[in-house]
């Protein structure tokens, strides 16, 4: 079966390009080019980025311990004892506290000032879009109009003290669910709404203050440590984004640089927390996005068998072909995922195969929700970041093939623990 059925590109993508267009695209994909929303490469590849991200992740974990060690310990104990959740790494709990601070700082004002009926309607439409394929475009059209008119105008608006407090968390979480872009994050934050009432009022208030303070520190310091990789965000928001009008992905694409920075440290910290489980799995698979395919993506000949989409090596220059060949030497199977919105369908299989470790390649804004979902499904996983985004669905008028640090991807997939892993 031919792959146009899985193509996420525009109708005109894949047509023959003249030499000038090829040269233009090559220049556009050069490291540090401002035409890209974000770009992890310096020099030839993204090796330096991963070093910077690891250092800053260490700084974040140190800062979190200084600010909120007691709160992290109490929350971790509560989640284990009361919610009966398998133990996560302390770094992952630190990420949750940071995500709580981000939600309070960036979206609590929107939650306070968006009319309640609009929030309820948006939540209903988000659930409705999953009921049947024919419903989805209609529900998304209605959601786009509702989001643009009622939810988005209030983002960044200052919240009152009562909303940026433990009492305001339920309303904030409802707004995040209504937005449709924070489903996994909202699920994790609901755990905090169950934990906070177990604390004395002054301790609950202090926890919220700690979360807000941690996010303020992160926003400032991440720009210094990682801002070189997100120069394109402001340009994208000021030009390409404002020309688009009312679209279903307007809230997803309208994120500021700090949320890209959150994805960067999330990838590092969650990989650390899940590494032992992943390395103990006897079988490994790699999931790559369709945007990694090369210039001939519109004529991709990938084989489709149910939800499995496998490269058939139709294009020697295609990154998916190259990655598939390299992984075959490690006895690792590679599958193509058409788009992040279908990610859950592809995960169901690996949730059932308990001997399998999954490496997922994704863009920065999908790292946190994707990592949370794989964690929730009990999948032993690792992630690798796209060096830059290039799909027409979200980021560009005309798609370009994306890239990933392939040596790092191979290193992740090849890792096997020397320990017995008897407890896993």
State the pLDDT at residue 63: 98
- Which letter does DSSP use for residue 220 in this model? H
Looking at per-residue pLDDT, the higher value among 109 and 33 belongs to 109
pLDDT tens digits for range 47-101 = 999 999 999 999 999 999 999 999 999 999 999 999 999 989 999 999 999 999 9
**3-state secondary structure (DSSP) of residue 403:** strand
pTM of the model: 0.89
Looking at per-residue pLDDT, the higher value among 351 and 318 belongs to 318
Report how far Cα 89 is from the mean position of its chain's Cα atoms. 19
Average pLDDT, the chain: 88
How large is the average pLDDT for residues 276-297?
91
Please, which contacts does 302-310 make with residues 24 or more away whose CB atoms are closer than 8 Å?
Answer: 302/2, 302/3, 302/6, 302/336, 303/1, 304/1, 304/3, 304/5, 304/6, 307/345, 307/346, 307/349, 308/335, 309/3, 309/6, 309/335, 309/336, 309/337, 309/338, 310/334, 310/335, 310/336
Alpha-carbon span 102 to 83, nearest angstrom: 24
**What is the pairing mode between strands 403-404 and 308-310?**
unpaired
Contact present, 155 and 107 (Cβ < 8 Å):
yes
Contact present, 212 and 175 (Cβ < 8 Å):
no
pLDDT tens digits for range 156-176 = 888 998 888 888 999 999 999
How would DSSP label each residue in 44-108?
A: TBSHHHHHHHHHHHHHHHHHHHHHHHHHHHHHHHHHHHTS-PPP--HHHHHHHHHHHHHHHHHHH
Dihedral (Cα; 80, 82, 85, 89), 10-degree rounding: -30
What are the Cα distances from residue 201, in Å, to 75, 100, 197, 204, 375?
A: 16, 18, 8, 5, 31
pLDDT tens digits for range 255-279 = 999 999 999 999 999 999 999 999 9
State the pLDDT at residue 12: 37
């Amino acid at each position: 079966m031919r792959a146009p059925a899985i193509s996420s590109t525009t109708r005109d993508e894949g047509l023959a390009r003249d030499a000038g267009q090829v040269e233009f695209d090559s220049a556009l994909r050069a490291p540090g080019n401002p035409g890209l929303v974000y770009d992890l490469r310096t020099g030839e590849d993204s090796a330096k980025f991963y070093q910077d991200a690891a250092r800053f992740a260490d700084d974040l974990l140190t800062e979190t311990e200084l600010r909120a060690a007691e709160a992290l310990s109490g929350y971790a104990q509560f989640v284990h004892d009361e919610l009966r959740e398998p133990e996560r790494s302390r770094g992952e709990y630190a990420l949750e506290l940071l995500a709580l601070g981000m939600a309070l700082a960036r979206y609590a004002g929107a939650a306070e000032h968006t009319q309640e009926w609009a929030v309820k309607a948006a939540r209903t439409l988000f659930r409705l879009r999953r009921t049947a394929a024919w419903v989805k475009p209609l529900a998304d059209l209605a959601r786009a109009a509702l989001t643009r008119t009622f939810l988005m105008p209030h983002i960044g608006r200052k919240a009152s003290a009562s909303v940026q407090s433990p009492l305001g968390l339920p309303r904030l979480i409802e707004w995040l669910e209504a937005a449709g872009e924070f489903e996994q994050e909202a699920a994790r934050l609901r755990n905090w709404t169950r934990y906070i009432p177990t604390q004395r009022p002054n301790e609950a208030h202090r926890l919220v203050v700690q979360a807000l303070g941690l996010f303020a520190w992160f926003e400032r310091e991440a720009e210094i440590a990682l801002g070189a990789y997100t120069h394109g965000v402001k340009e994208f928001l000021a030009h390409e984004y404002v020309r688009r009008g009312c679209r279903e992905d307007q809230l997803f694409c309208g994120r500021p640089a700090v949320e890209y920075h959150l994805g960067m440290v999330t990838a590092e910290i969650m990989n650390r927390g899940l590494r032992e489980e992943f390395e103990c799995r006897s079988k490994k698979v790699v999931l790559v996005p369709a945007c990694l395919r090369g210039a001939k993506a519109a004529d991709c000949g990938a084989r489709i068998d149910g939800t499995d989409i496998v490269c058939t090596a139709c294009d020697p220059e295609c990154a998916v072909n190259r990655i598939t060949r390299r992984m075959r030497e490690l006895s690792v199977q590679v599958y193509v995922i058409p788009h992040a919105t279908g990610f859950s369908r592809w995960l169901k299989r690996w949730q059932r195969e308990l001997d399998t470790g999954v490496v997922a390649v994704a863009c920065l804004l999908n790292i946190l929700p994707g990592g949370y979902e794989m964690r929730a499904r009990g999948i032993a996983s690792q992630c690798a970041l796209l060096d830059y985004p290039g799909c027409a669905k979200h980021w560009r008028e005309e798609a370009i093939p994306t890239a990933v640090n392939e040596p790092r991807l191979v290193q992740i997939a090849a890792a096997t623990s020397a320990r017995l892993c008897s407890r896993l």
